[in-house]
Each structure stands twice: as structure tokens, then as C-alpha cells.
Structure 1
């Protein structure tokens, strides 16, 4: 079973010092969402700014300082358990990484905070374990995707995530480029060279996958599925589907 020692959101507008004379006994996850602060991990002094994620293990010395004139907002979580030990040891965990402040990740963190606030008898320990494991895996992916040694530029990953989120609705290449902070021409070239397909092709793969699932598991008409999966109409859906699978959508559905 996993144990959460302390978790929450803190916001400081005044000078604040938190010195830990003893080494940490738990893992500490801390994500700066507003302002800045100063921390010392072991003998390393760090200026922590918006988007910086701290991952600190048991046995490390940790100090937090918020100086006069600094504002600081952060999500924090202290935890321990055998699963966390295994998760920590399976890949390198840098002390500090700049990650994207993704609302889905923050929502997961808030869910854990709310669950932890419930009266002890009202808490669902199984749910808390799964939520914490999900947070760990999400943090690990965020760290890996922003690493300089990752297999593709982070700007491309940002465009992929944007497309994955918006593929079933109308989205424009310009919007994905803006999301990654790139010009359209640079975004188009970088995406194709890194992923091996265009943004539209990547979006179509997602749409077709969603369409196949809906053909298998719903009773919606093919016209409804085409609209629901982001195609401009059934004729275009028919054309793209047949090119991908070699058969028309109707025939594919009958044979499933």
C-alpha cells in the first residue's frame, strides 16, 4: 500500500523559510505553478520558477526559501511505498525539470488532494493508490518528453498532444504550430521530419481509429460516425477509410 504523508497547494506572499535539519523520510514531488522561490537540495541551490518540477528522494536534505518580495504557488506531495521505490528506480529522476503545466496533470493532483482530505473512514485506499500511481507515471512521462535526450524535439511532442486532443473536432495546423510556439512553415517541416507523416495524416489516423471503435461498439450510422470523428462528411470519410483499410466502411463493419 502507498502512503501519502502530506499533500496540498500552497501560496506564499510573504517571506518564508522551511529548513529540514533531518533528511527527508518520504519522496517529495513539488510543482511550481506561480511565481518563484529558492530551494536547496543537498548542497545544490536552485531558483525554482513556473513550470519547474522537483523530484526529491528519501535521504536528501531539502530547504525551501521564499524571499521578501517573492510570490510562490506550488502543488506538493510527500509519499512512500514499495511501488514508489520501484517506479523511482526504473528511470533517472532529475532533481528539477521544466515541464508543461498541463491541466490534466494538475486536475489529477487536485483529485489526490481532495481524496486525502476526506475523513479517514470515507477514504478509498485503492482509489488513492491508483491516483498516486497515475500521477507518478504522468510526471515521469512529462520529465522524459522534455529531456534533451528524448527521441524527438519537445515542440513536436507538444503538437502531437494538441492534435490528439483536438483531432475529433475541427482544428487548424496554425493552431498546433502556435501551441508549440513555432511558425507554420517550421512546424510543418519539423513535424514531418520527426514523426514521418504530416499533421493531417497524424490526425486522420486518430480519427480512423476512433471511427473503427465506434463502428464496433456502437449502433450509430456511418454518417453519424463520420461527423462524430471529425470528418467533413461521409464521402470524405469513405474515401480516407478505403484508402487506409482497402475496403469501404460498410463492408468493414459487416465483417467485424
Structure 2
């Protein structure tokens, strides 16, 4: 299946801007607001777009963009087409506008595509840009889905889970997680435990243990180094946590399994 990136870039408007496609946008458009505000009209509906808003337009959609002269507006945008994009779009409902987290890994992926598209045509790797586009689409889809609270897991809890997953192998603190979610420590602790069924530290320990087992399986690192790399701080603590979980010492587990 094909993918084709027609344009990928970043814009920052300070003196006003207006564009319109009343007869329908010709391709798929992804637009992520990163700074300031603007207004859009999608399928006849006027909306104010703020930082963190992701706009998704499909071919044929009526689309207008307006940045007033007294406003500032910055956004990443990408225009694409192809049979793979068609299939991705049609497999689930895509809201016109979603509020998502402006995570570095998402913006880095977007910038990677921008850099690749700046290369001379003879130097561009179509296979690489195709996979980067697919990765961006799937990452955006996940970001959209995670902003929709499920019955058991509110969006704020999902944000806390993602933060812990990213920082589990470092010495993060509970108040770091609470601050990331915009909650008090007591509220974040209670909400996380009631939604996930375990404490933040217990959740982090599961991730650390999984990372440790991967290193035990695929590397020749010492158990002391693995304990440090995976966020346990010391081997005795790693030994205690591991033995409690698996019933054997890390060294015994490594010899038995691998």
C-alpha cells in the first residue's frame, strides 16, 4: 500500500493569515497547534484552536484557517495521501479536533519527517518517509484515544501512567507525576490506586522488573549494573523486589531461564 507526503512543515504567523478550501481540501491534512490561537472552519463549523489541539481533515472537507492580525499562531502541519492512509483513516472514527499532549516524542517524529522532506529529491528515502508517516499516524491515533476517558481510567490517570512508563527507570517522585497530571499529590495517589488497582510505585516496579529481565536475557551486563540501569538504585533492593515477585534471586532466575 502506498503513502505520499505532499508537504510537511512548521508555520508561525504574527501578522495575520487566511486560507480557504470551500470546495473541499484535496488531501489529508494533519495540523497540530503548538503556540497561540487561531480559528478554523471545518465542514461549516467555526472553532477556536488552542495549544495542543490536533486538527484532522480528510479529502473533500470544507476547510478555512484564520489567524487574526493581533494573534500569534504556531503549528506543525502535514499533507498526505495514499492507499495506506485511506485504510488507516477508515478503520476508526477521526474527530475533527482533539486536544492531545504535546509530547517530545511526537514532535520529534514530526520534525524527522520535515527534515527528510527537505532533502533533494535524489537523496530522499521514500521507504523511510513512508514508515515515518505510518508511525506518525498511529502515534496521533493513540494520542487521540488516550484523551477519551474510558469507564475505568480517566484521562488524568492515563497521563500519569504514560509519565511513569517514560520515567520508571529514573528516580522520579510521586509529586512529579502529580504535577504532570495537574493534580494534588493526595488526589493523584487516590485516583491512580482506585483506577489502576495498584500504587504508582508498584506500577513503576513492574516496569523496572520487566526492563531488568530484558537486560538479563539479551545482555551480559552484571546484575549490579542492571539494578542501577533499571532504576532500583542498588542491587540489594533489586534482589529483594525480584525475589518477592518471582520467588528466586535474580542470579538464579538468569541461570535457570537463559
Q: State the TM-score bracket (shorter-chain normalisation).
A: over 0.9
In structure 1, how many angstroms separate the alpha carbons of the residues matched to 2:91 and 2:153? 21
* Structure 1 segment 6-85 matched on structure 2, within 5 A: 6-85=7-86
Determine helix, strand or coil for the equivalent of 1:30: strand
What does the per-residue CA deviation read over 1:3-35, in whole Å, with 9 as the maximum and x for residues that have no partner?
111110001101211122431121100000011
Conservation of the 8 A alpha-carbon contact between 1:144 and 1:150: no
Asked if structure 2 preserves the Cα contact closer than 8 Å seen for 1:226 and 1:232, the reply is yes
What is the match of residue 138 of structure 2? 137
Measure how far apart 1:243 and its partner are.
Answer: 1.2
Residue number in structure 1 paired with 2:216: 215
Q: Gapped runs of 5+ residues in structure 1?
A: none
Question: Aligned pair 1:180/2:148, yes or no?
Answer: no
Matched residue count: 256
Q: Which structure 2 segments of 5+ residues have no match?
A: none
List 4+ stretches of structure 1 deviating above 2 A.
Answer: 148-151
Rounded to whole Å, the distance in 1 between the matches of 2:202 and 2:145 is 25
Supply the RMSD in Å over aligned alpha carbons.
1.1
Deviation at 1:103, TM superposition (A): 1.1
TM-score, normalisation: structure 2: 0.96
Q: Which residue of 1 is the match for residue 124 of structure 2?
A: 123
C-alpha deviations, 1:70-104, integer Å up to 9, x for none?
11100001101111111111111100011111111
Q: Does 1:199 align with 2:200?
A: yes
Q: Matches of 1:186 and 1:149 in 2, distance apart?
A: 19
Distance 2:225 2:50 in 1: 46
8 Å CA contact 1:5, 1:78 repeated in 2: yes
TM-score (normalizing by structure 1): 0.97
Deviates more, 1:144-153 or 1:78-87: 144-153
Deviations 1:111-133 (A, max 9, x none): 00110111111011110011000
